[in-house]
Structure 1
Amino acid sequence: MTESAMPRIELLATIASLAERPSRRILVIGEPGVGKSTLVADAARQFTDTGVVVLRASPAFAERYTAYSMLWDLLARLDLSSLPSLPSEYRYFLQIALGQQPASTDLPSLAAAIALESILEECSASTPVVIVIDDLQWADAESLAAVERATRRLDRHPVYLLAASRDSPDTAGGTVGLAFDRRDLFPLGGLSVNELESVTRPHWPSTMTRAQVVALHEHTGGNPLWALEVIAGGHLGELGARPVGTLAAPPSLAVAIARRLQNLSEPAADVVSIVALLGHPRFELLASVLRFAEIDAAAVDEAEAAGFLVITTKTARAGHPLQASAAAARLTPARRRELHAFIAHAVPDVVVQAQHLQLSEPTGPREHIAVCLTAASVVMRQRGARLRSAHFAAQAVDRTDPRSEHYPDRLLSQAQQLFSAGDMAASLRALDRVSATLLDVHQYDAFIALSSSALAWNHGQDAVARFLESHVGTVSTDAVRTAIVQANAVADDLMTVSVRAAAAAAALAVLETADAPNATHRAIKGMIRAQLDGGGGLNHQLVDDSTRRQGIQLVVGLDDTGLATRGFHAHLIDDVAASRRDLAELVEWARSEGKDGVEGLFLAHAALVEVIGADVAATRRLMTESGHDIRSADLPASALPILGLEMLARGDHTGVAELIARGESSDLGTGLFRDVIAPALRGFSAFATEDWPGAVAHLRRAADCADRLELVELGSRFRVDLPLIEALIMNGENADAGIHLASVRAFLATRSRPISRIGLHRVTSMYLAASGDLTGAVAEAERAVDLAVAAGRLADEALSRLQRALVLTRLRRVTLGRNELSTAMERARQSDHADVCARVSARVSATRGGSGLSRSPSRLTASENRVLAAVLSGKTNREIAAELFVSVRTVESHVSAVLRKTGVASRSKLRKPPQ
């Protein structure tokens, strides 16, 4: 931040060079009346004169809670028809968000921001664009969020931002809704004596002496508005009696304005007050309010002549925000409420009407106000302003008699809006006020679903279980309500598969004819999960049924839909592609809705899918985008295992231990995390560090719990079985390993699980080698290599080649073993999997004394040189495989490596490299 105020001419020059600033934004700050508006207006004219597109807005105090009011002002002078490539969908978004036409459905939260971004992108394609915002402190939150998002995303386009705001603790830190670096804040001081004389001269009542001008400057600090108010109020003669150097400009300035406002007639003062309460009303709206208030139009002329109003052919506004503040402050509470009532009757927009109707009567139940506020909440939701919708819903609740039949509905609406906006804690507070015994079935369904979802997010599954248990006794005589509670309870992750299947089916049978869409979805979801956990795969018919029902009636959360069910579960049966596709769609939905919390959760699940898909780089990127890490204060329970697996992939075992400790010491570490996931993560960590007894102990504990829960699907068992078998073999417990291996082999014999099958062949090779069947071990390792190569899974290929190399070495085929070890090391490096690299590297170091680690990435291995020689002699891949005693796939892999390392485009162009 600039240390001291910069002269205006220099500040204008700095603004003119806005495009050269790294941040491409400037915030001018200063006390009220010091001339910020004049400065930015001069800068805007300069930009316009140079051919720059200027989008300008001047928010008013009265509009700070009106969603998208500043955005409406910014775009008011822009002819959207001059942007032919702007999609019609975005024009529709803006028309809805700005209240220019009614909506048939709810807009996504980011709809207006996306449309603004598209407008700025198209405008800036041919000429620079400068967004100019005066009185930034009064801008509404929705408009600020849209401008911030659009300007940040268009960082490669010539889009710039100039704003002015009152000097305050907030602006000093650059936190006024838009993100400003301290270096982008420029204080604006008062005018010099000469500048003040020049500005005030046309308003002097008679010739002023130089001494009077200096005294005026000292008294006002060069604040031009204050100086003009002193002159207009006739206080020049008092300057000598006033303290020199007074710094408390705003209070004294406010007093001066209030005194002058008292000189107006009562109707004229009321006109200024009405304009202050409206903000920037269109002239026809002002005229309509004046008719309701029975104020003659001559009062407008009087207020304008006194400098309190600026009237155009279309709009009216106060001459300065301080004048508007003074005009509002002059009103008695009764008169203020009366004027708000006049405005509410005159204004056509239901949102603005609700705002003024709310202020037109004292606090307490008023059904007609509650009805209007409820309508405004719906409109705000349709316009994509979720938090503003929740705000109106909360006001509607406060205006509703608790004994009214509408009270439960309005409370649930408030909770739903807060839930949709991502404020789970506030949603739970609203739900705490609901009396469940007064709800009908549809309301009870929403209440239970909202409560369990918000509790699961904030406090984990144990809190949900306690909540549902508290409702079991109260609804035991009502079959439908019992089924609603039961349908929500099937999400308990410590419920056995058979109990979950039976409970979900029983609940669904009762709910089929009930008006309980949330519970119905959750019962279906429970049936899908029970079938999958039991080894029956993903029931696509039930998934499609869930999707169909979602299209008929909206439910509380998108995670109850078929799309989410498939995205969260397909990877458990090794269908990574399906999970990846559906989660990408869920992430895009969350982004368009502006649901940051839900987006983060979907991104974390997408990261989990990439862990299973063995794409370490994508895992890291998605976890970073999700915003979840071990330091996150609001880490959701479902993110704990995902974060643990991501840490293991990059070899952060200390972080894994900290994560487990945090989970076990908080509400989050409950249920399946405590009994399966935590021991599994400990086992995986011990496995990676070759602590075989520790790995066996932890993984066996996780597997035993999975057995008790009747989990059959390997993915549902957190994939602990194959690592457990390997740890048992390495720990010398072959007999136990054989029992577990037979169980896994039997499961996979009738199911297509391509990822698990690679591991099965590899650990089978280990088991056979430990049992002395080296020939069988080589064959199993070869199958594992072939499957890994076909699937493009580099980490699995590295481990499978490592196992094959070890068996070949025991068979005295040392050269082949070393060649395979070299390829394993190369694949491990390419996989970017820290633990896999460490395991293969340790074996390479032991076998070659570490020489394999320093090999040039462009140098051919011994195996690749032999394959190259055979290729140059004209042999086919099959002939080369027979000659070198390897598979055709291995030859193909070596040929690909030779082409990559030599930079040759095709096999026919290969030449013998120079010695």
Structure 2
Amino acid sequence: MDEHTGGRGAVMGPQPDPGELIVGRGAELARLSRAVDSVSADPVLMLVGDMGTGKSALLEHAMHRAEAGGARVLRAQGSESESSLAFSALHQLLRPVAAEVDALPDRQRAALQDAFGEGPATPGPDLMLVGVAVLSLLSGLGDHHPVLVVLDDTQWFDRASLDALSFAARRLEGEPVTLLIGARDGDRLPPGFDRHVPVLTLGPLDRAAAHQLLDLQPKSPTGHTRSRILDQAGGNPLALLELTRTASAQDTAAGLPSAGPLPLTDHLERIFAARLKTLPASTMRALLLLAAMDSADPAIAVSAGLPRAEDAAWLPAGQAGLVRQTGRDIRFRHPLVRSAVYHAASLSAQREAHLALAETLRAEPDRRAWHLAAACPHPDAAVSAELERTAGRARRRGGHAAAAQALQRAAELAPQREDSARLLIEAAAAAVFTGDITWVEELVAAARTRTDDATLLASAAVQAGRLAVLTVRHTRVFSRLADAAETLTASQPAAGLDLLAGAAVVRFYSGDDTQRHRIQDIQRRLPEHPSHASMRTWVTAVSDPFDNRPHLVSLLPRLAAEAQDRPERLTTLGIMAWLLDETPQAVRAFDEAFDRWEVQGALPEGLGGAVAWAYLERGRWEQAREACARTTAVGRAAGLDHAVACAATVDATLLAFQGDASSARTRAEDALTLIDPLESRSVAVYAHRALGAAAAAEGAYETAYGQLRLVFTADGAPVHYHASYPALADLTAAAVRCGRHEEAALIVERSASALADNASPRLRALISRARGLLADPQEAEAHFRAALADPVLEHWPLERAQTLLDLAEWLRRRRRITEARGPLTEALATFRRLGARPWIERARTEARAAGLDATDTPPDALAGLSPQQQQIIRLAARGLTNREIGETLFLSPRTISSHLYRSFPKLGITTRSQLRDLIENTHTTTGRQE
């Protein structure tokens, strides 16, 4: 065999015998071989096919090939019964590397221990840190050998495990790690792996391959029997083998299932069930226990009281082709065998099996609770309470899907309808954090059929609305939230206001002005109450921040006092302050909230993008990128495209400011593909602003103007009531460079008139800058001076530096070169400190024309790095280790090391110890970062 090497390490050696007969899958085998041999550029590959198409056999082949080449192989196999146990699949995967888990950094090790329920009681694991721990572990294993991770039957993986594994999977580029995923076709693809993951689909075998497979059987069928087998199997490899086995055992085709509409799965289950009739009672009991347990983890099998692999009870089952021995454990040959065994048993036998398992699993309270539930033919308050406790444990470990499943089953077993309704609403509250709005709505609908209690029904509506706000279905969601809020205005005003708060967030995302009027109408009809004041302020600030802005700003100090020591309130305060262009106060609130809020929520908060925007505006670009990374990771894991799109627009804008125009365009275009621009005007506006900034960075001002013009309507009105206005100065700057003065002037003056006395100091400064750019030369200075007059504008360093540069250019052209040097020097220092490379170049050119020394300084060395490399360099200069930097930026230590290795030559240094001096010299020259 040829020897191959690649970016993820080399796996080589002779072709292994996978232990399974694989026919007709040459192309698929070649694709898998390239993956494990590291020829493929894709570190993740998903194998999708119907039941019985051979996914597990192909994955087994890949595992043997990798092991023969010296790779470390980790495998987890999903099981239906454990899909409701949080982190069970991840625990199974990492059990063989427990020693390596213990060697992880303290925070990462503790996060995994929390997730597995092994550590001390905590409020819950940081789910992002769990993902970082998995990534670090896999990367560390790759230091010694290439690593192959095989995830089979992922349709039965618990959601918490999938979230952690998908988080790591998206960051495997450059790592010696390959991830192969097996999933059943027809089911929804595993969350987190359903976008941008290469998929290899297993279809039916063609007629020639089907004949070949039959020819290779010990008793190859012939004649009419072969024709019937081929017709009924439909190219499914498992069906071909099992139908042949049945025909051979009976020496006749009479016992084959008749042709007809019976599904293939039912055909196969009947075939397997027919083999059970002659088995001894001890074998049947062992099989039923194995089927009821449904765990691929041998450690659980032993504790559950199953006969050991060498027990004689298994021999008849093995001879019948129902089970196989793998190491020291017994497994069904196929999930259909498990299903056939389980459903062939009587209800009383199934119940007895589950009760027996529950008795032996007293040390495993969560598994025990589910077996007790499976044994319940009728409602049972005690078992319902056990499941509710299981849900509590799952929730503390961050297993929101597992908690929701346990609560849903607890509701089914609750004897009292009111208890059932309460549990369903709690299930909906947990399911919110999975991002699965259909499930949430089903749970809420079920709760409504079980109760007339107004408080519970209001709570149900709030839970459904909480997640709906984060989806992309803004028009539909707004109507539903507003209707529910209107219905509850009299009977449940607090719940009605909560729903209206969600509707206000949807109004922000959509930018639909008719929604503002509806919100105002409903809010007028809500009764006043002192405890509702903060929420009312939120509704107004989010839905219409520039209507009576001075009054809203005057309320912020009181809200800040009420929010002390309450991170969720501080976050809300920060968002409102950002909306009102009180960015310094917003950043202070976010800083304090994050210092106190060690465990981040499992979903992005409504308007969570405000955090990244505030840090970007304030000039704290590293933290803006970190906020984007967290929102992206959480949004992708929960399947919330809108949250991912929001983060992408901030990221794109920042990349454009740093001069990486190509990456900025990619991120902005990604955002636009995730949303409907008519449904999500805010995201569309942010994306076009980013695309305009990217074009301006390259000097393509006509293109920049075209993108920024889309931020306003044809008649010059803002497309979005908040997101459009900050683009006024950038639009004008592009307009004057491509001869669009008159059109830009109309837009600027229309916006100034619309804002009037409600314009923030920031917006007044941007309007003044725009007027200065558009004014006749003799009138421009007054406008530029007005844009710089208020000291508070220093809190928007990029915007202030841009205005300083405009003033300096105007002064130099008026031959007032001495006066120009002051603002020019200040502008250049700010651009260098921020790493705004396009603006550095423009300011440097102007500085040389003004007779200033514009020699490169250390910041320009940093400016030669990518934005991510700049972040890594700054964190390394602060003394953080590669692992600590990886935790901060959600990257593996290997990726951090690679970036540092590539960055050092560009910076002219050779050791890590030189970084501090480099950064300190940068700050000495240009001033400290905001």
Would you say the 8 A contact 1:103–1:383 is kept in 2? no
In the alignment, the residues of structure 1 paired with residue 376 and residue 177 of structure 2 have an alpha-carbon distance, to the nearest angstrom, of 45
Aligned to 2:650: 605
CA distance 1:804–1:422, shift in 2 (3 Å): farther
In structure 2, give the amino acid aligned to 1:261.
L
| Residues 177 and 186 (structure 1), Cα distance of their counterparts in 2 relative to 1, 3 Å cut | farther
Change in 2 beyond 3 A, CA 1:553/1:84: closer
**Structure 2 counterpart of 1:719:** 766
Tell me the equivalent position of 1:71.
Answer: 90
For residues 256-313 of structure 1, give each alpha carbon's deviation from its aligned partner in whole angstroms, at most 9, with x where no partner exists.
222223445778646534422321266786688789xxxxx99878767755455789
Give, in whole Å, the separation in 2 of the partners of 1:663 and 1:258.
72
2:342 to 328, 331, 337: 328
Kindly report which structure 2 residues correspond to 1:755-834, keeping only aligned pairs within 5 A, or say none: 755=798, 774-775=814-815, 777-791=816-830, 792=832
Shift of 1:54: 2.5
Distance 2:223 2:719 in 1: 75
Match of 1:430 among 449, 460, 464: 464
Q: Deviations over 1:421-464 (max 9, x none)?
A: 49699687713689968999998997676665566456779757
Q: How does 1:98-177 map to 2 (within 5 A)?
A: 98-101=116-119, 104-135=122-153, 138-140=156-158, 142-143=160-161, 146-147=164-165, 150=168, 153-161=171-179
- Does structure 1 residue 587 correspond to structure 2 residue 628? yes
Contact 1:442-1:516 within 8 A present in 2 as well:
no
CA 1:382–1:583: 2 relative to 1, 3 Å: farther
* Residue matched to 2:293: 278
Moved more, 420-429 or 57-66: 420-429
The question of whether the paired residues in 2 share the 8 Å contact of 1:408 and 1:439 is answered with: no
Secondary structure in structure 1 of the residue aligned to 2:295: coil
**Which residue number in structure 2 is paired with residue 643 of structure 1?**
687
Within 5 A, what are the aligned runs for 1:197-276? Answer: 200=218, 235-239=249-253, 250-264=265-279, 269=284, 271-276=286-291
Per the alignment, residue 522 of structure 1 pairs with 572
| 1-structure distance, mates of 2:438, 2:737 | 38
Displacement after TM superposition at 1:623 (Å): 6.2
1: CA distance, partners of 2:239 / 2:764? 72
Tell whether the 8 Å contact from 1:218 to 1:245 is kept in structure 2 after alignment.
no
Which residue is 1:695 aligned to? 744
Question: 1:544 & 1:236 partners in 2: Cα distance?
Answer: 75
Q: Which residue of 2 aligns with 1:707?
A: 756
Give the whole-Å Cα distance in 1 for the aligned partners of 2:756 and 2:799.
Answer: 18
CA distance in 2 between counterparts of 1:306 and 1:80 reads: 37
Distance 1:290 1:769, change over 3 A: closer
Letter of the structure 1 residue corresponding to residue 136 of structure 2: S
Closer, same or farther in 2 for the Cα pair 1:753/1:398, shift >3 Å?
same
Verify: 1:486 aligned to 2:520, yes or no: no
Return the offset for 1:159.
3.1
TM-score (norm 2): 0.65
Pair 1:590–1:370, CA change in 2 (3 A): farther
CA shift for structure 1 position 604: 3.1
Alpha-carbon distance between aligned partners in 2 of 1:115 and 1:718, rounded to the nearest angstrom: 46
| Aligned-partner Cα distance in 1 for 2:595–2:173 | 41
Give distance in 1, aligned partners of 2:350 and 2:716. 56
Residue 782 and residue 103 in structure 1: after superposition, are their counterparts in 2 closer, same or farther (change >3 A)? same
Q: What is the CA-CA distance between 1:691 and the residue it aligns to?
A: 1.9
Amino acid in structure 1 at the alignment position of 2:621: R
Instruction: For residue 500 of structure 1, report the CA deviation from its aligned partner.
Output: 0.5
Query: Aligned pair 1:470/2:518, yes or no?
Result: no
Cα distance in 1, alignment partners of residues 793 and 132 from structure 2: 48
Q: Deviations over 1:309-329 (max 9, x none)?
A: 557897553343221121233
Residue 743 of structure 1: aligned partner: 786
8 Å CA contact 1:487, 1:507 repeated in 2: no
Letter in 2 for 1:633: I
Q: In the alignment, is the contact (CA less than 8 A) between 1:357 and 1:369 conserved in 2?
A: yes
Quick one: distance in 2 between partners of 1:392 and 1:80?
28
1:185 deviates by 8.6
Q: Unmatched 5+ residue regions in structure 2?
A: 1-21, 442-461, 466-480, 696-702, 856-861, 865-930
Distance 1:634 1:301 in 2: 60
Asked if structure 2 preserves the Cα contact closer than 8 Å seen for 1:472 and 1:482, the reply is no
State yes or no: 1:60 paired with 2:79. yes
CA distance in 2, matches of 1:722, 1:459: 26
2:37 & 2:489 partners in 1: Cα distance? 62
User: Are 1:48 and 2:67 an aligned pair?
Assistant: yes
RMSD of aligned residue pairs (Cα, Å): 5.9
What is the TM-score normalised by the length of structure 1? 0.66
Distance 1:13 1:556 in 2: 40
Partner amino acid, structure 2, of 1:581 = E
Deviation digits for residues 629-656 of structure 1 (CA, Å, limit 9, x no counterpart): 4444256554344323322220343344
Residues of 2 paired with 1:621 and 1:467: CA distance?
38
Aligned residue number for residue 621 of structure 1: 663
Cα shift readout 1:513-538 (whole Å, capped 9, x = no counterpart): 9x9975575357646876837xxx64
For each residue in 1:725-764, what CA deviation from the matched residue of structure 2 results, as whole angstroms up to 9, or x when unmatched?
Answer: 220226xxx56x5664553354359968765565555655
Please give the alpha-carbon distance, in whole angstroms, between the structure 1 residues aligned to 2:715 and 2:413.
Answer: 42
Q: Distance in 1 between matches of 2:294 and 2:133?
A: 25
Q: Which residue of 2 aligns with 1:532?
A: 582
Query: Following the alignment from structure 2 to structure 1, what is the Cα–Cα distance between the partners of residues 611 and 221?
Result: 83
Q: CA deviation at 1:33?
A: 5.7
SS of structure 1 residue aligned to 2:127: coil
- CA gap 1:671/1:790 in 2 versus in 1, 3 angstroms: closer
Is 2:587–2:615's contact at 8 Å kept on the other side of the alignment?
no
Structure 1 residues 74 and 743: CA distance shift in structure 2, 3 A: closer
Closer/same/farther in 2, CA of residues 633 and 333 from structure 1, 3 Å limit = farther
Give the CA deviation at 1:673: 4.4
Q: Distance in 2 between matches of 1:663 and 1:343?
A: 72
2:722 is matched by which residue type in structure 1? L
Change (3 A) 1:102 1:669: farther
In 2, distance between residues paired with 1:231 and 1:749? Answer: 82
Instruction: Work out whether residues 43 and 178 of structure 2, in 8 Å CA contact, stay in contact via their aligned partners in 1.
Output: yes
Give the C-alpha shift of residue 252 in structure 1: 3.6
Q: Is the 8 A contact 1:304 1:310 kept in 2?
A: yes
Shift, 1:709, TM fit: 0.7
Does structure 2 retain, via aligned residues, the 8 Å contact 1:607–1:623? yes
The change in CA–CA distance for 1:552 and 1:133 in structure 2 (over 3 A counts) is closer
In 1: Cα distance, 2:384 partner to 2:523 partner: 30
| 1:377-456 correspondence runs (5 A) | 377-389=391-403, 392=406, 404=418, 411=425, 414-415=428-429, 418=432, 421=435, 430-431=464-465, 452-453=504-505, 456=508
Aligned residues: 772
Residues 339 and 489 (structure 1), Cα distance of their counterparts in 2 relative to 1, 3 Å cut: farther
Q: Percent identity?
A: 17
